[in-house]
Structure 1
Amino acid sequence: MDIKAYIESGILELYVAGQLSEKENQEVYELMQQHPELLKEVLEIEASIVKLTAATSPNSVKFDAFKDKITDAKVIQLNPKKTDWVTYSGWAASIILAGGLIWTLNNNTELTNQIETVSTERQLLEIQIEKARDNLAETRRLLDALRTKDILTVPLNGQGNYDFAYAKVYWNKNDNTIYLDAKGLPNAPEGKVWQVWSLTLNPLTPTSLGIIDNFNTDDNKIFAITNTNESQAFGITLEPDGGSASPTMEQLYTLGVVNTAP
């Protein structure tokens, strides 16, 4: 995923503004969990909006500027005999009170901004903690599955021009599940997906086990796949988006034969 291009697309601003559909909001939320730089960008957008709101608020008048205007005011000569000291002292008190209120409102705005920033950072931390907890639970579940007594391990080696590639299948026949460790495959190019195949060898008959459309965004690269076939081999090919009815042999990256010998 091109993080920079995604940020520049403007979708994060629409997310913060609440202008996306429920599905789009969920997609952005999931991407923020996977990419900390997107979370950071959302925080910065929210902080900018808070600052902009404060800057355009009537309460954002600075007391120093207000004080300067008072200081720069023209001096009017008054006739001492006609001066009502109570009246002018009342005006002075009003000016001081108004300035004090503006200063107080400014401080309250800054305090509100700080509270909102702390709240946002807390939400970010909670998301990170929840993600770490989920990852730990998933790791434990996978380890338990891979340590099953009767599980079959099938190495998938690179083929032809793709001899750099590798993968491994852990097949639990008891629950008709394979666990594919595909760490040895590169990210799928744009417009392509990895497709997993179950094979019988005589005659050669491929059966699709499905595509891995979230391969590029998955950190662990371990995928649980249902397999009810009497598989004699497994293969992985690179196919167009949506997958293919039969494997593209020119794009066969890995292949491994099941060894059932004790």
Structure 2
Amino acid sequence: MENLKAYIESGVLELYVLGDLSPEEMLQVEEMASQHKEVRDEIASIEEAMEQYAISNAIEPPKDIEQKLFDKLGLNLLDEEEVIVNQEEYVSDPKIIQLDGSDGKVRTLRYALVACVALLVLSVGALFITYNKLNDAHNQIASLNLDKQKFAGVVSQLEYDNKGLNNIAEMAESKEWATIRMQGQAISPKSKMNVYWNKKDKSVLINYLAMDLPKADAEHEYQLWALVNGKPVSLGLFGKSDSTSNEAIIKMQTIQEAQAFAVTLEPMGGSVNPTMEKLTVMGGV
């Protein structure tokens, strides 16, 4: 009995039902089945289980597929009343080829078809699950890339701010640099900006972190002026006060002497003389 139990649990009966055994192995299984009721019962149980699985997972074909199949075979669908046909007519009908096969072969073909349908259902399910997982992975990668870009922007801004603050601290501690604090004028009372003037080499710097000016539009930019003996001298142009694409510290033109500094809003490219109605900030030395 132990050998019989091991034989039943070996999986050979499942392969027999699926038709995956050689002819010699098929005969061996049939011989065992003829000798042992347990083997016959197990084969019947496997067949029934596969049939139930195939039925529960069956995919209903299009309504016209049966007619198309019979058309390919050269047959016509019959009504239920016309199904009963004499065996002699089957043999004599030239359109029908009589198959010479045992019940075992027909049963094998039937369950092989059931197995194919089951595998097809499982494959479709696996493909659907894989597609969903790929979609989820794609969304996660896109989200990570977006987070990476945001983080890079934050780091860039912090580096920019840190550089500007370090330069302000260094210039404030140095005796060579004079800080000119300019206050808002009538056009923009709340504006403010600092200019750093080196007493030794006469260089002039501005720091974006130390300025608060209205945002310039696409047709205008700011122009820095030095007031020398009552006459304005242009020290160069600079862009938006909220721009982080520039260096935190901008070097302007040098000036040997000045009594005051001022900023006006001018058309792109600057002006020869300051537009006084656009005077934004101003401060004395």
Instruction: Compute the TM-score of the two structures, normalised by the length of structure 1.
Output: 0.56
2:247 corresponds to 1:191: no
Q: Which residue of the partner structure matches residue 117 of structure 1?
A: 143
Q: 1:69 to 1:212 in 2, by over 3 A?
A: farther
Pairing 1:33-44 to 2, within 5 Å after superposition:
none
Deviation at 1:94, TM superposition (A): 2.9
Mapped partners of 1:161, 1:102: distance in 2: 65
Q: 1:173 to 1:98 in 2, by over 3 A?
A: same
Deviations 1:148-197 (A, max 9, x none): 12322323344456555443322123343334366353233452222111
RMSD (Å), alpha carbons = 3.6
Mapped partners of 1:177, 1:89: distance in 2: 87
Whether the 8 Å CA contact 1:156–1:166 is kept in 2: the answer is yes
Number of residue pairs matched by the alignment: 185
Q: Secondary structure at the match of 2:211?
A: strand
Whether the 8 Å CA contact 2:265–2:280 is kept in 1: the answer is yes
2:225 corresponds to 1:211: no
Mapped partners of 1:87, 1:230: distance in 2: 98
Amino acid aligned to 2:125: G
Deviation at 1:121, TM superposition (A): 1.9
2:258 corresponds to 1:229: no
Mapped partners of 2:188, 2:130: distance in 1: 68
Mapped partners of 2:250, 2:121: distance in 1: 72
Mapped partners of 1:183, 1:71: distance in 2: 72
2:246 corresponds to 1:246: no
Mapped partners of 1:162, 1:128: distance in 2: 30
Deviation at 1:230, TM superposition (A): 1.9
Q: Which residue of the partner structure matches residue 139 of structure 1?
A: 165
Runs of at least 5 residues in structure 1 that lack an aligned partner in the other structure: 1-67
Q: Which residue of the partner structure matches residue 91 of structure 2?
A: none
Whether the 8 Å CA contact 2:187–2:279 is kept in 1: the answer is no
Query: Percent identity between the aligned chains?
Result: 26
Q: Secondary structure at the match of 1:215?
A: coil
Q: 1:256 to 1:129 in 2, by over 3 A?
A: closer
Mapped partners of 2:192, 2:159: distance in 1: 29
Greater shift in the superposed pair: 119-128 or 204-213: 119-128
Whether the 8 Å CA contact 2:215–2:240 is kept in 1: the answer is no
Q: 1:131 to 1:235 in 2, by over 3 A?
A: closer
Mapped partners of 1:109, 1:242: distance in 2: 51
Q: Which residue of the partner structure matches residue 228 of structure 2?
A: 200
Amino acid aligned to 1:155: R
Whether the 8 Å CA contact 1:146–1:170 is kept in 2: the answer is no
Pairing 1:1-262 to 2, within 5 Å after superposition:
70=58, 72-73=60-61, 84-159=110-185, 163-180=189-206, 183-201=211-229, 204-218=230-244, 223-232=249-258, 233-258=260-285
Whether the 8 Å CA contact 1:183–1:220 is kept in 2: the answer is no
Q: 1:189 to 1:71 in 2, by over 3 A?
A: same
Q: 1:220 to 1:118 in 2, by over 3 A?
A: closer
